[in-house]
Amino acid sequence: MGAGGEDVIVAAARAGDEPAFAALVERHRAELRVHCYRMLGSFDEAEDLVQETFLRAWKNLGGFEGRSTLRAWLYRIATNACLDVLDGRAHRVLPHHRTGPSDPRTAQPMELRTDIPWLQPFPDRLWEPVAPSEDEPDTAVVRRETIELAFLAAIQYLPPRQRAVLILRDVLGWPAKQTAELLEGSVASVNSALQRARARLREQLPERRLEWTRPSTEPTERERAVLRRYMDAMERADLAVLADLLAEDVRTTMPPYPLWFQGREAVVAALAASWDADAPDYVGRFQMLPTRANGHPAVAAYVRGRDDPGYRAFAISVLRIEDDHIVEAVAFHDLGLFSAFDLPMALPAHR
């Protein structure tokens, strides 16, 4: 859509044409959802904030004078809506940000902690980049764009305004002047906030993650092979194969459970204790479906109890695979995520 065509639709929207307004803003929904997710660390809240952004835009459409693009104006509204939500709120975390690793020999029964603001995953199907139109070169895919959990977890430690500056400048590639205008500050204050944010980020990110790149939207064949072996081993309760797939220093977490385990030996011991894999009726307790989240392979796990007619949704695990081994697995035990990933809530006993 050319600038002239957009002006016509903006004029119609200002005159009260809601379908015209929807046509204007809906094409920005996907990228605004990702932006709000980065700011908040929550998929659920990102969905809500996009709706809030559109409501604010509709109410204040008369104030849009065309000095910036509509996209930039929507980003301003979305960023300020996120800053409003973040004011005074604790940042989102994963279990290993709160305490040391658990000992599988002494770990107590798992207890849900819904009072902790846990980080949530983001389904890849909702963030795959779209090619920019000719009249909107500023929507080009940013080379350093990232949505990885390690990065999302790290930026949650930044104060909200620093977080916004870092995302706008280093992730989205906005110039300092445009960022300052969006945040209603000076270029000097934006540059200062960016330097502080970068320094704090270096403290939070693992050393090998200091330089990030946008993950591929498609797994490599080697990743697919590891994923297939992992799913098969889970369904067959084969601890030996699982142990072979895990890196020596693997880390597993299970929000909203606060327990987490570090190292292959601890992870295998925890699985052995919780599975009772030697029980005659254990094999076939799990069914797995492949998916993707945060630029990484993921699996949806379904569990079947002894008297269940089929398999019920259990968890979505995001896997980080390096050198043909799983180095991290984050199992999100949040059934509300299954619909976001377009996954069924149940599977039949025989597929």
Predicted confidence band of residue 245 (pLDDT cuts 50, 70, 90): very high
Tell whether the model's pLDDT for residue 9 goes beyond 80.
Answer: no
pLDDT digits (tens, 9 = 90+) for 150-179: 889 999 999 999 999 999 999 888 999 999
Q: What are the structure tokens assigned to 184, written together?
A: 């209603």
Three-state SS at 128: coil
Q: What is the C-alpha separation between 297 and 15, in angstroms, rounded?
A: 46
| Percent of the chain residues past pLDDT 70, beyond the cut | 82
Q: What are phi and psi of 142, to 5 degrees?
A: -85, 135
pLDDT digits (tens, 9 = 90+) for 30-54: 999 999 999 999 999 999 999 999 9
pTM: 0.88
Using the Cα atoms of residue 22, residue 32, residue 61 and residue 134 in order, give the sign of their dihedral.
negative
Which residue in 77, 51, 68 sits closest to 10, CA to CA? 68
Q: What are phi and psi of 42, to 5 degrees?
A: -130, 125
Mean pLDDT of 250-279: 88
Contact 332, 318 (CB under 8 A): yes
- Domain-wise residue ranges, the chain: 3-89+129-209, 221-347
Q: 325 has which bridge partners?
A: 322
Q: What is the C-alpha separation between 72 and 1, in angstroms, rounded?
A: 16
Q: 297 has which bridge partners?
A: 292
Same fold flag, 3-89+129-209 and 221-347: no
Give the class (CATH, top level) of 3-89+129-209: mainly alpha
Of 331 and 274, more confident: 331
Q: What is the C-alpha separation between 318 and 291, in angstroms, rounded?
A: 9
Which residue in 304, 301, 309, 311 sits closest to 341, CA to CA? 301
Residues 6+ apart with CB under 8 A from 39: 46, 49, 79, 82, 83, 86, 160, 163, 164, 167
Topology (CATH) of 221-347: Nuclear Transport Factor 2; Chain: A, (3.10.450)
Q: What is the C-alpha separation between 23 and 10, in angstroms, rounded?
A: 10
Strand 296-303 and strand 325-332: the pairing is unpaired
Tell whether the model's pLDDT for residue 1 goes beyond 90.
Answer: no
